Structure 1
Amino acid sequence: MFKRFTKEEIHSRSNIKSSAQRGLKSRFIDQFPDVEEVVELIIPKKSQIILIKCEEKIQLYSMNEEVVFFQSFDDLIPHLKVVHKFPQSFPRVQVDRGAIKFVLSGANIMCPGLTSAGAKLPEENIPVDSIVTIYAEGKEHALAIGKLTMSTDDIKSINKGIGIELLHYLGDGLWNLTE
């Protein structure tokens, strides 16, 4: 999604009202229930969020000149820097070492990379179209964020095809964006 993202793709910037900020916070909590305990650290009450509209109907939400999360269609997706600060607040999966170079080049994640020896999927099922953070075997921080193309139970049982559509990863255009 952000493989070749540049400043030229930004169309407009505008401050959003405090009522809209409250709505964004509640949508973010609805999507990621574990983020409720840290949402005031991510978006403090008296802060001003700036909406940045980009091409392909992507909206970035920025605060203090750093993107906090972005929106693609109906999903609110945290920026990797937010995930690095609050890793326990987001659902996570782990890929094996062999998948790292492909993920960091922007490739979608195949099911075998999520079910092999070094990979980990959560015990409880995560439904299709959920946003997950992607960690790598032997690494401390998340290297990407993606959207499940099938549930985690289906990934375990089918073990073929694309399991996660990559949305944002270390080193992509959004990661390197400076306002």
Structure 2
Amino acid sequence: MTHESRDVLDPYEPYSCPRRGFKEWGGFVEIVAKKDWKLKARKPVRHKKIKGLIERLTVPLGVETDLSTAFLETANFGPWNLLIVDKSPLGMEVESPKQEIIAFPTLRGILAWSPNLKWCEVDHGAIPFLMNGADCMAAGIHRACDTIEEGDLIWIRDQSHGKPLAIGWATMGSNEMVESTKGKAVKMLHHIGDELWELEL
């Protein structure tokens, strides 16, 4: 797949999103959001009870935030665990293709917290593909945070404005994804317009 389109697409405008399912990577089943997932087991929690989770969400990404006065809840969304902050799903726990539980901000969390680590930047030609749930090809990546290693959960932003577009699993390190002109660099997990993005609380 090449990124030949030069039309500027605003990913924050409404659009139709295809049904998401399951993808394979390295022999593991990678779960992505599905339309029939429902929010379950929603309950309020005290800050001190989930302090460890908050640290796992923020510290690795260089985020500084104080949630001690926020209204915090947890819930299940399919097999994912969500952290809901003042009625907005800002954090998630997901199982990696290597069967590890990883904490990471949702796209709304990235918008709220503006992390400065674990990102890669794509050109406008890549945006329409990402908005349709496609994996991110290395050919569309122009810059990447130098802390990215293969297997990391990372976020993708647009080159012009730095807005978050998607989250996925890095299939190569930062240097390779910038220098390579072919191959998949990021396996899609969550993108603007998918079921988690559209979740109403």
What TM bracket, shorter-length normalisation?
0.7 to 0.9
RMSD: 2.2
Change (3 A) 1:86 1:64: closer
Aligned to 1:165: 187
Aligned to 2:40: 11
Separation in structure 1 between the aligned mates of residue 188 and residue 156 of structure 2, nearest angstrom: 9
Structure with the higher fraction of residues in helix conformation: 1
Q: Which moved more, 1:135-144 or 1:57-66?
A: 135-144
Q: Which moved more, 1:94-103 or 1:72-81?
A: 72-81
Tell me by how many angstroms 1:88 deviates: 4.4
Letter of the 1:144 counterpart: A
List aligned pairs for 1:21-60, cutoff 5 A.
21-32=50-61, 34-35=62-63, 37=64, 39-40=65-66, 44-55=67-78, 57-60=79-82
Change (3 A) 1:22 1:5: same
Change (3 A) 1:110 1:99: same
1:79 and 2:106 correspond:
yes
Structure with the higher fraction of residues in strand conformation: 2
Aligned residues: 165
1:120 and 2:150 correspond:
no
Tell me by how many angstroms 1:140 deviates: 4.2
List aligned pairs for 1:64-75, cutoff 5 A.
64-73=86-95, 74-75=101-102
Using the aligned pairs only, state the percent identity.
Answer: 22
- Write the deviation string for residues 50-90 of structure 1: whole angstroms up to 9, x where unpaired: 111132x2111112211011110221121222322333434
1:135 and 2:176 correspond:
no
List aligned pairs for 1:103-114, cutoff 5 A.
103-114=130-141
Change (3 A) 1:125 1:28: closer
Letter of the 1:49 counterpart: L
- Write the deviation string for residues 14-49 of structure 1: whole angstroms up to 9, x where unpaired: 2334333211122223432x11x3x21xxx213342
Q: What's the TM-score once normalised by structure 1's chain length? A: 0.79
Tell me by how many angstroms 1:129 deviates: 2.1
Letter of the 1:5 counterpart: K
Aligned to 2:123: 96
Separation in structure 2 between the aligned mates of residue 75 and residue 101 of structure 1, nearest angstrom: 27
Gapped runs of 5+ residues in structure 2? 1-31, 96-100
Gapped runs of 5+ residues in structure 1? none
